């Protein structure tokens, strides 16, 4: 499916992947950026016990971390060359316990803007059948 | 300063500490529960490079993880014996980059309830002089 | 398009319309419930100057009021007979100034639950071409 | 109590009052701006039946409207002369039904900024004894 958005920076893919690679927490978690398109990214996260809360499911904050990175990466893909992205704020609703072996965080731009970009994100089981969490995030473009 | 709330479970302190200790992600991050009072908890987090985002500051999701745990612990401290706490949703505003050596996440109950407890949380530098992030969280009591 | 959800109460349509009619603020605003389906409702709001903010656009709080009612109505449509719905919390992102003659607020259930139902909502121009605001809302079922 | 913030515009008080007066919805609701200080405003709202939800309490959206205006006014009080304020997003938690004759919405700046100002707000009974709702809001300065 084609993206709704035109990237300003033809090198957007490389730039998003580079920024992702510089996020040490993604390495710490074992998260992988598996898809980049204009205004859209997917990050995979395999389950690990050491990312869990008290019942062994993924901690809500771990989910948030990965979905926030997906949203930030999606926003960054539409920003001009040289710009950086910062999360101003986000809200997350946890819908179901994150049980499973492999998860996907999907970030999507809803409204790009010169200064402010609004994204939605979600966190699903790898086959996409179960919606575990949703996010709305406000991102800022820093030049 | 005395807490505004009376705990229902006289063993609240032990129960909150036990639940915290069962959250594997807290160990992964090196976070320590340093204070428990009725409706209030503080968690310390030393800076580590491997918890960083692309500029080396703590990732917004790491901050969220720790403040969410502080809020959940605060909510749990007022719940009856045997109850568990679940985060339904939270919102975080990131106010300043998390630069520093040692941080504190503070969770406070604003409105306890039989089913739903609302908390506010923040994330500050260890000396309390700089406010880095604020959270509002909705917690559910599961019996 | 068929709804994804089965209503528990066969009289859901009448019950949602009755509750809507009892919301005096909807009458005050001139808002009309124009569609009810299981887990989905649409509310129309004609522009009026006396609902405006300082630039003459609809006030963010007016938008919120109508989208919250759409989300609450959507949640209520899936609740059992005799239940009432309460908004626990919501978050709204304002994407564009609400200019126009006629607007639609759409409420959709994302995750129904015995106690907690999570909805998303939006506010669009009447032809559906312009997205003006988005909401995520947490609703409680009160028996 | 002295405010924590220094206004950039010595005419901040008149400017905030003027912008408030231009918000037609405030007149529609019968809301009054009763206090302006640098980074802080209070708005009073008398109860009226025609602002109610289905149980006769103030509608969550009405509460939101007034607290959003209090937060926006607080943010505006710290902005330079000629600037306008826009709500980017807010989150509201409803803590108790809004029963009473007179309410106060209080907006407070938490973090002022050149482009983005973060505020917290609340909605209380007029004597300040009962906390009915809390808000976190992100405001933008438009020049």
CATH code of the domain covering residue A84: 3.10.129.10
Mean pLDDT estimate for chain C? 96
ipTM for the assembly = 0.97
User: Does the pLDDT of residue D2 top 70, yes or no?
Assistant: no
Task: Please indicate, yes or no, if residue B110 is contained in any of the structural domains.
Answer: yes
Domain of residue D68, residue span: 12-142
- The pLDDT tens digits of the residues spanning C11-44 come to 999 999 999 999 999 999 999 999 999 999 999 9
DSSP string spanning chain C?
---S---SSTTHHHHHHHHHHT-HHHHHHT-EEEEEETTEEEEEEE--GGGB-TTSSBPHHHHHHHHHHHHHHHHHTTSPTT-EEEEEEEEEEE-S---SSEEEEEEEEEE--SSEEEEEEEEEETTS--EEEEEEEEEEEE-
User: Using a CB-CB distance cutoff of 8 angstroms, which residues of chain D are in contact with residue C25?
Assistant: 50-53, 59, 61-62
User: Does the pLDDT of residue A109 top 90, yes or no?
Assistant: yes
Nearest to A134 among C93, C95, C136 (CB): C136
- Of D100, D108, D115, D113, give the one whose Cα is nearest residue D135: D108
Task: Please indicate, yes or no, if residue D3 is contained in any of the structural domains.
Answer: no
Spell out which chain A residues touch chain C, with contact meaning CB-CB distance below 8 angstroms.
Answer: 91, 93, 95-96, 110-111, 118, 120, 131, 134, 136, 138
Total tally of structural domains belonging to chain C: 1
Q: What is the pLDDT of residue B4?
A: 84
Spell out which chain B residues touch chain A, with contact meaning CB-CB distance below 8 angstroms.
Answer: 19-20, 22-25, 27-28, 49-55, 59-62, 64-66, 68-69, 84, 86-94
Mean pLDDT of D51-77: 97
- The pLDDT tens digits of the residues spanning C98-123 come to 999 999 999 999 999 999 999 999 99
How many whole angstroms separate alpha carbon B28 and alpha carbon B19? 15
Q: What is the pLDDT of residue C2?
A: 55
Task: Please indicate, yes or no, if residue C1 is contained in any of the structural domains.
Answer: no
Task: Please indicate, yes or no, if residue B81 is contained in any of the structural domains.
Answer: yes
- The pLDDT tens digits of the residues spanning B100-111 come to 999 999 999 999
User: Does the pLDDT of residue C1 top 60, yes or no?
Assistant: no
Mean pLDDT estimate for chain B? 96
State what percent of residues in chain C have pLDDT above 90: 96
User: Does the pLDDT of residue C3 top 80, yes or no?
Assistant: no
Task: Please indicate, yes or no, if residue C91 is contained in any of the structural domains.
Answer: yes
How many whole angstroms separate alpha carbon C46 and alpha carbon C34? 12
How many whole angstroms separate alpha carbon C134 and alpha carbon C138? 14
pLDDT grade for C61, boundaries at 50, 70 and 90: very high
Task: Please indicate, yes or no, if residue C41 is contained in any of the structural domains.
Answer: yes
- Of B83, B78, B77, B74, give the one whose Cα is nearest residue B106: B74
Other C-beta atoms within 10 Å of C30: how many? 13
**Assigned token pair, B111:** 């409105």
pLDDT grade for A2, boundaries at 50, 70 and 90: low
State what percent of residues in chain D have pLDDT above 90: 96
pLDDT grade for D136, boundaries at 50, 70 and 90: very high
Task: Please indicate, yes or no, if residue C61 is contained in any of the structural domains.
Answer: yes
User: Does the pLDDT of residue D65 top 60, yes or no?
Assistant: yes
User: Does the pLDDT of residue A1 top 70, yes or no?
Assistant: no
Give the minimum alpha-carbon distance from C139 to chain B in angstroms, rounded to a whole number. 11
Sequence-separated (6 or more) residues with CB below 8 Å from residue C30: C45, C46, C48
pLDDT grade for A3, boundaries at 50, 70 and 90: low
Q: What is the pLDDT of residue D3?
A: 67
Mean pLDDT of A14-23: 98
- The pLDDT tens digits of the residues spanning A87-97 come to 999 999 999 99
Give the minimum alpha-carbon distance from A34 to chain D in angstroms, rounded to a whole number. 30
User: Does the pLDDT of residue B72 top 60, yes or no?
Assistant: yes
Mean pLDDT of D86-92: 98
Beta-bridged to residue B138, according to DSSP, are B89, B118
Asked whether the beta carbons of C81 and C9 are under 8 A apart, the reply is yes
How many whole angstroms separate alpha carbon C81 and alpha carbon C78? 9
Nearest to A91 among D91, D115, D118 (CB): D91
User: Does the pLDDT of residue B74 top 70, yes or no?
Assistant: yes
Binary contact (B54, A23; C-beta < 8 A): yes
Residue of chain A whose alpha carbon sits nearest to that of D91? A91
With residue B71 as reference, give the H or E element that holds it.
helix B60-76
The C-alpha angle D7, D12, D13, rounded to 5 degrees, equals: 125
Task: Please indicate, yes or no, if residue B2 is contained in any of the structural domains.
Answer: no
């Amino acid at each position: 499916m084609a993206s709704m958005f035109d990237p300003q920076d033809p090198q957007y893919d490389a730039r998003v992947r580079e920024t992702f690679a510089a996020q040490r927490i993604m390495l710490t978690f074992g998260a992988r950026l598996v898809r980049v398109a204009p205004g859209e990214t997917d990050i995979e996260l395999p389950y690990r016990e050491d990312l869990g809360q008290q019942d062994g499911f993924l901690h809500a904050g771990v989910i948030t971390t990965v979905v926030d990175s997906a949203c930030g990466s999606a926003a960054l893909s539409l920003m001009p060359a040289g710009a950086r992205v910062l999360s101003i704020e986000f809200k997350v609703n946890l819908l179901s316990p994150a049980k499973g072996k492999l998860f996907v965080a999907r970030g999507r731009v809803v409204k790009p803007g010169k200064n402010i970009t609004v994204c939605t994100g979600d966190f699903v089981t790898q086959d996409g059948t179960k919606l575990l969490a949703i996010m709305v995030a406000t991102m800022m473009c820093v030049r």
